Amino acid sequence: MKKILLLLALALLQTVSARAAGRQVLPFNDGWSFYKMSAPGDVSDVDLPHCYNGVDGTRPGYYRGEAIYSKVFDAPERGSGDRVFIRFEAVGFQAGVSLNGVELGHHKGGFTAFCYELTDLLRPEGNLLEVKVDNRKDMTLAPINADFTMFGGIYRPVSLLVLPKGHITPMDYASPGVYMEQLEASPQMASGAVKVLVDGFSQKQLGKLSLHTELTDVNGNIVARSVSDSKMTHNGFTALVDTLRVVNPELWDGRRSPALYTLSASLADGDRIIDKVTQTVGFRTVTVDHDKGLSLNGRPNNIRGVNRHQDRPGKGWAISEADHLEDMELIKEIGANGIRLAHYPHAEFFYDLCDREGMLVWAEIPFVEQAPDTEEFAASTKSQLIELIRQNYNHPSIFCWSLFNELGGEPVALVSELNDIAHAEDAGRYTTAASNSDNSPLNDIPDIMAYNTYPGWYWADPATMQYAIDWKYRPDKQPLAISEYGAGASVKHHGILTEHPEPGGEYHPEEWQATVHEINYREIDKRDFVWGTFVWNMFDFASAGRTEGDTHGMNDKGLVTYDRATPKDAFYFYKANWNDEPMVHISGKRFSPRREDARQVKVYTNCDGIYLIHNGVRYYPDGNPQAHVYTWDNIPWADGDNRFTAHATRDGKTIYDNCIISYNK
């Protein structure tokens, strides 16, 4: 009972403080109805997030069509004059929203948030909100074609915002309405210019309005505080502005120490706080140099990272916070220090996680493959970029905005415009892009460049990564990264190959993927000027049109299977190279039984003193390791079961990995 009372008191306190702060954010995810336009009689009750291709998203004929979501609800409790907004975090790909039969708006873009005001149409009870969702191909909206399934649905959370009449606006492309532009970030001093966009005030009220800002550290200590009544116009709104300074700040220092601060921005009329928004922020400098690569806070910090797609089996894009956390744990386990969130804006929860975990993030818009030369297409692509930037402006993890991925054609004018927009929106971050062409004029546009290249998978042998990089290196142009490389792999297919299998074929042996990564990465790692490298991909993902590997409808280049249950051998190769915790892994354990031509034993470890016990006999590795890979080519395999234990030592402690592999000569 005591506990219940305590919880009630806490809940009350939370509502009171939310009200005192002037706003309520109410989850709006339960109790929706849903049907596909193809089957209007087939109505089901659903909760959000919801994706209507969770089951068919790996089949070529998956449903790409319209669907109707609706919800009947009573108006939230609110004070007189309060205004009500609805915010969708993402709908794949277009949403026509109406309340009580009146259209509120139509949003184009499958990955960014949007917001509408409901106030004037709200009845006290029995309101009907309807959302017509559409995931059909549309020549005016990117992506038009891409190597991933275009999942439909209201697949991220929805909330109602109850705001006082005058408030910090949620209507600036659904951004938080609070922007902190970093001005300085050194161990001695950090400072940020804060802009808070307001709406709903009369001129007279505006005159009396002041902005109270505070920065608190993780321990809740206030490290900076200011009051200002300076105003300017920003993004078409009145903005209250101020500058906050922190003496001897803790910098956001990536995986080493991702120090964060909470910025709270309150609007006040005298002593009365009218509205308040908090944001997580951090101070850091990221510079990319042609020869030295990427530095974080002045220290070399080339990115050793992965690409991530967001879908999961059965759920499509409607994934949970637990799913995001599981993905992050796996990415941390291999020791990555950066992530390319491909090929579109990801969930707010995941950018927050990247801030907390110190992952450097490449953020991008879904401008992939095709670029129709029309005004409508240009307009929607530009607005997707503005949404990405404004909604995610405050994340210290994000260091670049990517403008395109592998574009066919050469839409120089549009990409140049996107580049200018990104600079105008955010002077503090680089623009970049992922290109698959060495000669495209588009490559000259962004501040820093990156290339997708697949030596050892789509062509040639893995060692040609050296030429792939060296030919792309342009001393007179921008610094270079490898934004994608990799190979397909099934944990059910095994074999030792000397050249790549048919990429579009069904046989994708796990061992070849490991070989490609070992050799590709060795070449990348030799070159300090490569500012980042991003494995394609951390996880297998749905690509309905593919007919290859062990399961059709999938791209199986993940280091981990689609269900996140099985790390492939290549996962452990990176773990040996990137993570600091002692580890040892015998590669090819699933490759059993084996035959004469496949007797090599391979071990990945970041420890010393490595040896192998085979059927009770000790063997030392052949020669020196290459990129933490040890090999044994002369083990006398016995017919039947072969027992292996790999021993490795770090700081006097020995760790082991075991397996049994059978052998049929």
Interacting residues toward ligand GCB by CB under 6 A: 146-147, 343, 405-406, 436, 452, 484, 536, 555, 557
CA torsion 193-194-197-198 (nearest 10°) is -130
First to last CA, the chain: 70
Shortest Å, Cβ 65 to ligand GCB? 24
Residue (384 or 405) nearer to ligand GCB, CB: 405
Helix (H, G, I), strand (E, B) or coil at 6: helix
Please report, for residues 329, 350, 356, 571, the alpha-carbon distance to residue 359 in angstroms, rounded to integers and kept in the order given: 12, 11, 8, 18
Q: Which residue in this structure is represented by tokens 């760790």?
A: 655
What are the tokens at 561?
């299977």
Shortest Å, Cβ 574 to ligand GCB? 18
Shortest Å, Cβ 483 to ligand GCB? 8
Instruction: Choose among 584, 636, 591: nearest CA to 608.
Output: 584
Residue (250 or 556) nearer to ligand GCB, CB: 556
Active site residue 406: yes
Helix (H, G, I), strand (E, B) or coil at 579: coil
Q: How far apart are CA 462 and CA 273, in angstroms?
A: 61
User: Residue 303 CA to chain centroid, in angstroms?
Assistant: 15
Shortest Å, Cβ 305 to ligand GCB? 15
Residue (555 or 587) nearer to ligand GCB, CB: 555
Where residue 140 falls (left for φ over 0; alpha for ψ -120 to 50; beta otherwise) is alpha
Shortest Å, Cβ 316 to ligand GCB? 17
Please report, for residues 458, 520, 536, 570, 587, the alpha-carbon distance to residue 494 in angstroms, rounded to integers and kept in the order given: 19, 20, 20, 13, 12
Q: How far apart are CA 406 and CA 453, in angstroms?
A: 11
Shortest Å, Cβ 400 to ligand GCB? 17
Residue number of the CB closest to ligand GCB reads 147
Please report, for residues 108, 249, 399, 486, the alpha-carbon distance to residue 387 in angstroms, rounded to integers and kept in the order given: 11, 30, 16, 31
Instruction: Choose among 573, 582, 590: nearest CA to 651.
Output: 582
Residue (191 or 452) nearer to ligand GCB, CB: 452
Residue (99 or 433) nearer to ligand GCB, CB: 433
Residue (502 or 596) nearer to ligand GCB, CB: 502
Shortest Å, Cβ 111 to ligand GCB? 15
- Tell me which of 89, 406, 511, 523 is the catalytic residue: 406
Q: Which residues contact 616 (CB under 8 A, 6 or more apart)?
A: 643
Residue (546 or 564) nearer to ligand GCB, CB: 546
Identify residue 405 by its one-letter amino acid code.
N
Tell me which residues are annotated as active site. 406
